[in-house]
Amino acid sequence: DWPAFLTGRSMIIAGGLNAKAVIYPIAPGSSPASRLTNWAVLVRIGDGSSPPPRREGWSNLGRREEMMPYVASFTIPQVDFTGLINATPEFWEYPCCDRDPLPYWSSGRVTLLGDAAHPMYPVGSNGASQAILDARCLADMLARSEHPRQALAAYERQRLPMTADIVASNRRGGPEGVIDAVEQLAPQGFTDVDTILNYEAREAIVRGYAAKAGFAARVVARQ
């Protein structure tokens, strides 16, 4: 339960590919001036050449002494980020790992879908979203094809290269790569982002990712 910030419905993504803070409200708080607020700190601690530091899991309690040095690197005027984290009694650690794209998904009458087919970094809301798009494509192919194996082959031809492209894009930051683009151009900061990278250029990065991920309005309309 934390004081509302900005509009009370705003989301903050601060930082870039190597260290990022994400803060957003998820429900009303105990008073009109507060919100139940979720936060995450994502830090790159390896280059993918070595295994995660601890076994991956969904119930590993986070260790405050490990995280706070990263938190100290953020200055977020709209939120007392250190205070927010110190007020959180417990939090969890989720090592984020992806996998290189597979050469194929289907064998006989069996195929893969969702995270089993293309685990990717949690960027751009693509974990569940790509599974839904997989399922829609697979259902369409099954309805149109004379034989299930024919449907699985068509499904794989369409979805495997598309999701492989998203896996690669998420490694570079996905739509949030716009933050890294600005940081590269102005590593010492700025007072007016439009003088560094104008709105049209920033929008092109985000919209380009939306089209790649199948979220663009024209792509959704075709579905």
Q: Report the distance separating Cα 8 and Cα 10, nearest Å.
A: 6
Q: What is the pLDDT of residue 7?
A: 95
Q: What is the pLDDT of residue 151?
A: 96
Q: Report the distance separating Cα 136 and Cα 114, nearest Å.
A: 11
Grade residue 212 by pLDDT with cuts at 50, 70 and 90. low
| Total-model pTM | 0.72
For residue range 7-62, list pLDDT tens digits in order.
999 999 888 778 889 999 999 999 999 999 999 998 887 766 666 666 666 688 98
Q: Report the distance separating Cα 197 and Cα 195, nearest Å.
A: 6
What's the DSSP call for residue 213? H
For residue range 172-210, list pLDDT tens digits in order.
777 777 888 888 898 888 889 999 999 998 888 877 766
Q: What is the pLDDT of residue 190?
A: 87
For residue range 51-106, list pLDDT tens digits in order.
666 666 668 898 899 889 989 888 899 999 999 999 999 999 887 778 899 999 99
Say if residue 153 is exposed, middle or buried (CB neighbours under 10 Å; 0-12, 13-18, 19+): middle
Q: Report the distance separating Cα 211 and Cα 223, nearest Å.
A: 13
Token digits for 196? Answer: 């560094």
In 72-198, which residue ranges form alpha helices assigned H by DSSP? 81-86, 126-144, 148-171, 177-185
Is residue 16 helix, strand or coil? coil
Instruction: Let me know if 24 is a catalytic residue.
Output: yes
Q: What share of the chain is helix, strand, coil (3-state, %, to 5)?
A: 45, 15, 45
Q: Report the distance separating Cα 186 and Cα 14, nearest Å.
A: 15
In the Cβ-directed half-sphere of 208, how many Cα atoms lie within 13 Å? Answer: 15
Token digits for 34? Answer: 């507060």
Which is catalytic among the residues 24, 70, 104, 155? 24
